[in-house]
Structure 1
Amino acid sequence: MRQIVLDTETTGLEAHLGHRLVEIGAVEMIGRRPTGRHFHTYLNPQRAIDAEASAVTGIKDADLVDKPLFREKVDEFLDFIRGAELIIHNAAFDVGFINAELKLAGEHYGTVTDHATVLDTLLMARTMYPGQRNSLDALCKRLGVDNTRRDLHGGLLDAQLLAEVYVAMTSGQVTLDFASDAASENRGPSHLGDIVITRRPVVRRADDVELERHAKRLDALDKSAGGQSIWRKLESETVH
């Protein structure tokens, strides 16, 4: 299965108020493993970046003056995502901005879901970890994903981190059988606007590499907890 983990950066928070994309980062996975292929571009938004957005991303107006317009990159972008499942954290935000850009580029480009399906890891996380913080940084900490390079938000770096988070969330028993609760009522995809969130219950056996990574992740969780973490206790109870 081909999956594209995607993140964007923008001039502000509201696409319907004319805010635009300034960066797209996307990495390809096949069989839940990164292939090394990625799509990354900065974009000239043809408007100023809000001060708050610039503080988060570190991107300044002057950095984007010589960058391409979205319409100059749209075909390359759509070729990269076509036929894949897009994995996005808070997908409604990113997809909303991309759809706004597609509309400006030309009505014939349609919307994101004309080219790919979308899985929202924020909705997954809220189901798996109810009542907890489920930002990308919080998930990195919870799942033992190293995000020490993330001083500022960046499309490609965040996509790479989200890929690791997604694999951790959906590996072995840590998934807590996310799809099973809804399976009896809804075997098909769920919908959020024009976003299709695919949910597929999968039984997947870990290989030696994944088992080693799992053990290291539990070690990191133990260290963070200052003793045996709840995940280590649950694993011990399962084994014994």
Structure 2
Amino acid sequence: MQASNREIVLDTETTGLSPRQGDRLVEIGCVELINHVPTGKNHHVYINPERDMPEEAFRVHGLSDEFLRDKPVFADVVEDFIAFIGDATLIIHNAPFDMGFLNAELEWVQRPALTNPVIDTVMLAREKHPGARVSLDALCKHYGIDNSRRTLHGALLDSEILAEVYLELIGGRQVALALSEEARTYGAEPDARPRAAQRPQPLPPRLTQAELAAHAAFLEKELGDKAIWTQYES
């Protein structure tokens, strides 16, 4: 698979809003896409921020000092993280925030900044829906995506939800249908790779026997034997 076809939907949780003011990463969640389709491969890690958790941040994600105390520090997880994302395009909601924290953490462990291509879904949503709210919850509501599990922010869960939102932003179910057709064209097995989840479409309403009879009577009255299909009924 060509690297250009690989994307990583990514989200982070932090102790606050600014790494330059001492805030740190506490969680990273990543979801792999190949040709815009989730592969089932994820990367998820909690991180000991080596500082206290402000109450404001705790109310957002629910990650306490006690919970994070025995988790690895960033220096211990950076290699696995870099290996997982590789040179894939990163899909991030409000990318400057997450990229700012990731690059700050990399700088503190004397690693180079990320150079991956980045797609900011906030910008993508603003281009597609000018003037509309573009928060993750608002986009879920707009596209009918179930986010009921999102009682608190969580990096992996938010990445999974963002993957669905991203698919809708770039074309929705048409993308999955095109990929399915491509697979048939090149002889791939029907279940050779995971498909993007598609929401069931409502079935058309069924007519009752009385409604069908009334319709037939109406046609008989209006057209009699002039209806062309009566020539083929026998």
TM bin, normalised by shorter chain, reads 0.7 to 0.9
For 2:196 and 2:157, locate their aligned partners in 1 and report how far apart those are by CA, in whole Å. 25
Give the equivalent residue in structure 2 for 1:132.
132
For 1:31 and 1:155, locate their aligned partners in 2 and report how far apart those are by CA, in whole Å. 22
Q: CA deviation at 1:212?
A: 9.2
Q: CA deviation at 1:213?
A: 2.8
1:155 is aligned with what amino acid? A
- Determine if the alignment matches structure 1 residue 85 to structure 2 residue 89: yes
Q: CA deviation at 1:207?
A: 4.5
* Counterparts in 2 of 1:211 and 1:39: CA distance versus 1, 3 Å: closer
For 1:173 and 1:150, locate their aligned partners in 2 and report how far apart those are by CA, in whole Å. 23
Deviations for 1:31-72, whole angstroms, at most 9, x for unmatched residues? Answer: 111111111000000111121110010111111100000010
Give the equivalent residue in structure 2 for 1:15.
19
Unaligned runs of 5+ in 1: 175-201, 220-240
For 2:18 and 2:48, locate their aligned partners in 1 and report how far apart those are by CA, in whole Å. 17
* Counterparts in 2 of 1:24 and 1:14: CA distance versus 1, 3 Å: same
Q: TM-score, normalised by structure 2?
A: 0.74
Which has the greater radius of gyration? 2
| Contact 1:10/1:53 (<8 A) preserved | yes
| Contact 1:172/1:206 (<8 A) preserved | no
| Contact 1:26/1:156 (<8 A) preserved | yes
| Contact 2:52/2:65 (<8 A) preserved | yes
For 1:39 and 1:210, locate their aligned partners in 2 and report how far apart those are by CA, in whole Å. 19
Q: CA deviation at 1:215?
A: 6.3
RMSD, aligned α-carbons: 2.3
| Contact 1:172/1:205 (<8 A) preserved | no
Stretches (4+) displaced over 6 A: 208-212
Matches within 5 A, 1:1-240: 1-106=5-110, 109-113=111-115, 116-171=116-171, 205=178, 207=180, 213=198, 216=201
The number of residues matched between the two structures is 185
2:54 is aligned with what amino acid? D
For 1:45 and 1:212, locate their aligned partners in 2 and report how far apart those are by CA, in whole Å. 35
Which secondary structure state, in structure 2, belongs to the residue aligned with residue 213 of structure 1?
coil
Unaligned runs of 5+ in 2: 182-193, 203-234
Identity %: 50
For 2:121 and 2:65, locate their aligned partners in 1 and report how far apart those are by CA, in whole Å. 30
For 1:93 and 1:211, locate their aligned partners in 2 and report how far apart those are by CA, in whole Å. 27
* Counterparts in 2 of 1:47 and 1:172: CA distance versus 1, 3 Å: closer
Q: CA deviation at 1:130?
A: 1.2
Q: CA deviation at 1:21?
A: 0.1
